Structure 1
């Protein structure tokens, strides 16, 4: 999807949001991902309430006012205006298509009163990696995959791959501690990278500076310390920021691994790096569904013997059920430290600025 089509799509969605249909729109990056990675590589799915699925004439009328023509036969809900194609799906169809449970997403949003809803990215970096490794994937699709990686990277998503073996949980008996840490200035960060990432520090530093130029806001660093029997075995520092969309109505948490230092048993080193892989994949996921994705991914960490730190004094934004998300304390702590309580969907007063 080129910039012209993307801008056209956003204008169409703005109009559709005025109707009770309330299409659930995949997040800013996700639209690009879907256009590149959907196997048909032509359509963008929008989700409408099931009650509208039985009022085909009304849908055709609304879409007709936007110069969209319906498909034929079973494809009647596949609308095209000659520029983009929109596939209108019921909740059930969308869940089958993506694996996301919309009821959970609705629960997250109901107290935030957005005038439109944002779905998480359908394809994460993890999926992109997997797609590139498919034996029968065509060269053309691989080119699209690589182009999408470059697109995400240019917008501040860091794609470092830590290719490590999974560490069996029986081999690990340790805990992790998290604390927010300095430095935040470029000179100190550059020095950290020179020492700890000697082979690729220029590239990583360039990525960080590029991400900071326009759209990444409010930096902070989180320090991750691994201990075993009270002794420090591993240390990592991750720079975190919030990447805002063009109109600043939604955002993503993004991160860079600045420092990986290990002592003692190499198996412990593998364990903390496995943690960072999962952390990285989680950070690259669209918010506010980051908590949902994080919960699923961090369940893997329980098998490694990790204990999640509790930020008991952090207040969650309205709509987040603290009982449902085992890592909500970690990520809400990050959010509060980075940028306060951010509203990731527009409401009547516009995006939050506190």
Structure 2
């Protein structure tokens, strides 16, 4: 099969790769219809997040069941499915307490980072990480379910409540998904994005919102009359700015992944303003079915602005400013294997 693998030089190459088989009794092989490019994928290529050279990248995938192991009972070939790429062992001390997102046996199980992922024609995972796609949901909406699970994890970590104000820092795909979910929770949402092109894309996504509870701002407009009860840093390197956007007794959630980021925090400011800094980590997979259910009510497909075949991966990542000197020219980009056929 065709697959995109990570090289030692933090670039990706299209190669011929062995097609995975359902070797274990609980294995499912999925024929990939499309895979979203995540901010984490971009971070790997620009040196902000680690991954193992030689791994097939990609994790936000949807497709059809291709084959199943002998013990699989909940799926059969041809089923439309959504992949949950946040794996857990189920038997370590954290998992036994229900904290699947803090599984201690993560090594070798990070899909698209150290375990072969979904920038390929096929992917293999155990059955419990394969979810049925609701009838009537299209693939463009379903491919954004995994980012929605990430958003829900961070919104719930911040204990966002109806009637509060949420400031979402970063207007990339995950920031827009956070804004959609926060609006659904009943919050007033201020979305902060410096890039003019992405500002315009964000405004288009929310242009048909009747209630006017989502507004898009540049950072230099962020001396806001209204500050955030909850501030979510979807970039992962803007903690100091995010603290400035927080109201008294506000909760600041660090969401974006950036292993190079550092921040200076004044403890006295936290004390005097009653601020809380929260790290939610990966989502607990118990949230994934909730994200699938909520996705039926959110127009997630509006995020998908571009699609590319695997062969055009360089153009796909360039649209997300992953190539040096390139500006953003997309919101959500998906990669489509040639073998997948028409996803409609």
TM range (shorter): under 0.3
- TM-score, L = length of structure 2: 0.28
- TM-score, L = length of structure 1: 0.27
Higher-Rg structure is 1
Structure possessing the higher relative contact order (Cα contacts under 8 Å, 6 or more residues apart): 2
Higher strand share: 2
